[in-house]
Chain A
Amino acid sequence: MKTLMGVTLALVPLAGWAASTEYQDIERGRYISVLGDCAACHTVNDDQPFAGGVPLETPFGTLVAPNITPDATTGLGRWDYEDFKAAMTEGVGKGGYHLYPAMPYPSYTLMNEEDIHDLWSFLQTVTPVENAIEANQLPFPFSIRSVMMGWNWLNFDERSFEPDPEQSDEINRGAYLVEGLGHCGTCHTPRNFMGGAGGDKFAGATIEGWYAPDITPNAHVGIGGWSEDELVEYLQTGGNRYGFASGPMADEVHHSSQHWTEDDLYAVARYLLSGAGLESSDWDHAPPEPLPEDNPQVTAGSHIYFDRCSGCHTPNGGGEEGIFPQLASNPLVNGDNTTSLIRVVLAGSRPVATDAKPTAPAMPSFAWNLNDEEIASVLTFVRNSWGNAAPAVSAGEVADMREELRGD
């Protein structure tokens, strides 16, 4: 606060009106930081915002998000606006070193000048915190930052956002948020072997032991069956009748999307549900046929389901809105990637709590009283009942996740 006032007062002698303009820029910048979810990686402790230190587990090793407070020795205190802009849009830090793309500059490169400027204005007002961070904890050869030159050549386009004149302003705003600031694809688009955007855009990917689900308009495995209201409800309150944000998405809702304006959330919903920006051939595939009821896993799973699951999720998979997710016609249940499904049955899960939905109802852990085969069966039953259809889950997949969770 002190710093904020200092900045404001310093400008007053230059021009009387500048004070209010500057204040508005900073407040806009604060909101930009929320849209970009900077805190997710750069804030460990809410008492020391943006002081860095969140470790990011990548397939290549651990990166730690740096201190971006204006501290002169350990933060961005010696940076100027051009340094900041280069980091955001080119992935190059002050002095020319390469950032790792865990910092989503491949998305932020789409940001417009005004947003980058206001974000910079805001970051200069936060309280400087002396907190030295060793960002690069990768093993050789990934620890050599110049490796990223080659990576960028293959995986990164420096470009600015071009609105699609065929689309409404609202959809274009949604595109700007989804593709740029919101950097949804960082988690929801499959990565190639280098960690660059690889497979079908928004088709879902594994991240930090969770499945970031398919967010294409596919009605079976994506969010095509959701209404705009349901998607906005999820982003704004942390849950809807299909489920509650858990794992990394819980952090996203906590730090970011619950604070977005309703207009921005609806812009995102409209953009994602419209399929603009996607080739329909990439997502518009027919759902598979469900496994038959006499499939041994389905039969065994049905008994486990009625004993263990139906009390909350109800016998017909309808759930109880607001507390127990609906499993029928639930895209996460139908998805090819079973990482999150297996994980929540084994380990349980506590979703995000928001002011709008403070309950945060938990999924209990069944690791201790259902074995791998039983969990595979019950998930196979759930994935092939009440209109759901998806490949069987194998006991081996469950065993692998059990092993992975043990290592956590």
Chain B
Amino acid sequence: MATKLPPTDAVVVGLGWAGAIIANQLVDAGLKVVGVERGPWRDTAKDFNIASVTDELRYAQRQELMLRTAQNTITLRNNPTQTALPMRKWGSFHPGNGTGGAGNHWAGITFRFQPEEFRLKSHLEERYGADSIPDELSLQDWGTDWEEMEPHYDAFEKIAGTSGRAGQLASGRQEGGNPFEGTRSSDYPTPPLKQPYSPTLFAETAREMGYQPFPVPSSLVSETYTNPLGVTMGPCTFCGFCTNYGCANYSKASAITTVLPTLIRKENFEARTHCEVLKVTTDSDGRRATGIVYVDSAGRRWEQPAEIVIIAAFTFENVRLMLTSNIGEAYDPATRRGTTGRNYAYQTANNVQLFFDDKNFNPYIGAGAVGMGIDEFNNDNFDHSGLGFFGGGSTRVTPIGATPINARPTPPGTPRWGSNWKRATVDNYASTMSIGCEASNYSSPNNYLSLDPTYRDRLGRPLLRITFDFTQNDLRMAQYVTEKTAEIARRMNPRQIVANPRTGPWDGRPYQSSHVVGGFVMGADPSNSSVNKHLQVWGVPNLFVVGASAFPQNPGYNPTGTVGALAFKAADGIVNHYLRNPGEMIST
């Protein structure tokens, strides 16, 4: 049925951040690598013309850069008693498509997870007692630690040109940086972006209240930057068409602006676009991946044999491919057995709106990742004793650019249309700001990914089904951190504040965050994880599954910095360990 192609050393599925980084590292190690991407080849010059990219209808409303739901989507439900229905227009999250993946239309916020995160379960048990973690959570350690992760974070930031101010260097605490970050081996590659008015005002107030605000780390470069691969980026212009858009100014780091221009020039790399992978093939006992089968845009099926198979698609497709390829045991919430699909988690997004009378924030000035934040109420940076929840959020003001269709900030009670709505828009457009609190989402035995029994994609494969709702832990946390955020808002003395803590049940319609994680998580124990700390699949040593699908839970930070670091980590595992003993699980 599928035509067999000549074998290659490695095949990489997905040419977003993770796939492009790994492919480049393997190519530099001398391997012949084929990259397979379900979407088109994207390129700044061709796709993101400065004269046409600022088109809100095309990109934000009609979601041009996102995966077409007719090609592939998910089904969703809140709990196993419900029947899941398919998402026909992306709402809660925005999966990407094409080279660069969701990394083209991302915001650019580039946090490193904190050292405690990688041993979260152990850390909480040590601090709060062995039985302190409630039964509704399935928190776990990552099987790695800060010392192992730090060099890979550093490598990713240098590729992306990440701008920011260090908080902790080997030389000690750095004034103006994030005091809660792990010690960095080097400062950010580019200095922080200049701050618009609303983050500046927020930071002043936060400082007065005794908090320690810092510039949000951002892979929108603040000055011209040439990365170690020789690719050059230009400084961000705060154009305000950033999140949901591709960057026309070569300012927002993505695989297409930082890795692919050099990777595609290398002789032992080949990219095949508009090729959708159907499954990973394995030998008869399932202990070795033999390659992949994919379908091209003409509908022809091809088998690409490879010595090493790397799956580096978006979280959803990583997990679906593992389920449809029978890799690992599918998770069953009734028995809590199985690991494929286990520990799916999300993000708990909260915000507080501030309506002023006497301010002009020039809100059209913006960027996906410019702003000021505080971390006093994030993760375990505050004492959770007696609070009844764990976790927290990153509190920050990040004006992404108030675009003409979407940005209509009006106070509650304003009509949804008509002349009063128009008047309220005029009155509030320039004088409204918002403080967000991007909070953790802790995994639960009830939240998982599985194959939908009813709905199939155009190729006849089951869609991925999400079973998810916010836990009591997360809802209590949302109330707490939103109130802390509202305290700062009140101190800023606006006419009116509107606090929007996340409440349940999870609603898939309004956009919340594309930070979908887990489902094929990493760890030290094959009974509760799918990959080891090198992202190597337990029991299938030549198969690596890389991405946010490996996160065992989600802290109150954006995931991309960690996705990039894990890509470097997996590549390091392959090049420096696996290739010395191919076909074996890496033992170090």
- Chain A residues close to B by CB (< 8 Å): 308, 311-312, 320-324, 348, 350, 353, 355-362, 364-366, 368-369
Instruction: Let me know if B51 and A311 touch, CB within 8 A.
Output: no
Mask: chain B, 35-54; 1 = CB below 8 Å from A; 0 = not: 00000000011100111100
Known: A320-B224, A322-B224, A364-B50. Is A358-B229 also a contact (CB below 8 A)?
A: yes
- C-alpha gap A369/B51 in the complex (Å): 8
- Chain B residues close to A by CB (< 8 Å): 44-46, 49-52, 224, 226, 229-235, 237, 239, 248-250, 261-262, 265
Instruction: Let me know if B224 and A361 touch, CB within 8 A.
Output: no
- Give the secondary structure class of B's interface: loop
Instruction: Let me know if A357 and B230 touch, CB within 8 A.
Output: yes
Known: A359-B250, A364-B49. Is A312-B234 also a contact (CB below 8 A)?
A: yes
Instruction: Let me know if B45 and A361 touch, CB within 8 A.
Output: yes
Instruction: Let me know if B49 and A322 touch, CB within 8 A.
Output: no
User: Which chain B residues border A355 with CB–CB below 8 Å?
Assistant: 230, 262, 265
- C-alpha gap A273/B118 in the complex (Å): 60
User: Which chain B residues border A358 with CB–CB below 8 Å?
Assistant: 229-231, 261-262, 265
User: Which chain A residues border B226 with CB–CB below 8 Å?
Assistant: 322
Instruction: Let me know if A312 and B232 touch, CB within 8 A.
Output: no
Instruction: Let me know if A362 and B231 touch, CB within 8 A.
Output: no
7 pairs, A vs B, C-beta closer than 8 Å: A311-B239, A311-B249, A320-B234, A350-B45, A356-B230, A359-B250, A360-B45
Instruction: Let me know if B232 and A322 touch, CB within 8 A.
Output: yes
User: Which chain A residues border B237 with CB–CB below 8 Å?
Assistant: 311-312
Q: A311-B50, A323-B232 are in contact. List 19 more A-B contacts (CB 8 A).
A: A311-B237, A312-B237, A312-B249, A321-B224, A322-B232, A323-B234, A323-B250, A355-B230, A358-B229, A359-B231, A359-B232, A359-B250, A361-B45, A362-B44, A362-B45, A364-B45, A364-B52, A365-B51, A368-B51
Closest B residue to A308 using CB positions: B51
User: Which chain B residues border A353 with CB–CB below 8 Å?
Assistant: 261, 265
- C-alpha gap A311/B365 in the complex (Å): 13
- C-alpha gap A357/B231 in the complex (Å): 7
- C-alpha gap A350/B224 in the complex (Å): 19
Instruction: Let me know if A361 and B51 touch, CB within 8 A.
Output: no
Instruction: Let me know if B250 and A361 touch, CB within 8 A.
Output: yes
Instruction: Let me know if A364 and B248 touch, CB within 8 A.
Output: yes
- C-alpha gap A278/B82 in the complex (Å): 85
User: Which chain B residues border A362 with CB–CB below 8 Å?
Assistant: 44-46
- C-alpha gap A364/B232 in the complex (Å): 17
Distance (whole angstroms) from the CB of B251 to the closest CB of chain A: 10
User: Which chain A residues border B229 with CB–CB below 8 Å?
Assistant: 358
Closest A residue to B46 using CB positions: A362
Distance (whole angstroms) from the CB of A255 to the closest CB of chain B: 15
Closest A residue to B236 using CB positions: A311
- C-alpha gap A360/B226 in the complex (Å): 13
- C-alpha gap A366/B231 in the complex (Å): 25
Closest A residue to B49 using CB positions: A364
Instruction: Let me know if B261 and A359 touch, CB within 8 A.
Output: yes
Distance (whole angstroms) from the CB of A259 to the closest CB of chain B: 15
User: Which chain A residues border B239 with CB–CB below 8 Å?
Assistant: 311
Instruction: Let me know if B265 and A312 touch, CB within 8 A.
Output: no
User: Which chain A residues border B51 with CB–CB below 8 Å?
Assistant: 308, 364-366, 368-369
User: Which chain B residues border A322 with CB–CB below 8 Å?
Assistant: 224, 226, 232
User: Which chain A residues border B46 with CB–CB below 8 Å?
Assistant: 362
Closest B residue to A351 using CB positions: B45
Instruction: Let me know if B230 and A323 touch, CB within 8 A.
Output: no
Distance (whole angstroms) from the CB of A316 to the closest CB of chain B: 14
Closest B residue to A366 using CB positions: B51
Distance (whole angstroms) from the CB of B30 to the closest CB of chain A: 17
The 9 closest A-B pairs by CB, nearest first: A362-B45, A322-B232, A364-B49, A320-B224, A358-B262, A323-B234, A311-B237, A358-B261, A359-B232
- C-alpha gap A366/B46 in the complex (Å): 13
- C-alpha gap A361/B248 in the complex (Å): 10
- C-alpha gap A322/B233 in the complex (Å): 8
Closest B residue to A239 using CB positions: B232
- C-alpha gap A355/B230 in the complex (Å): 8
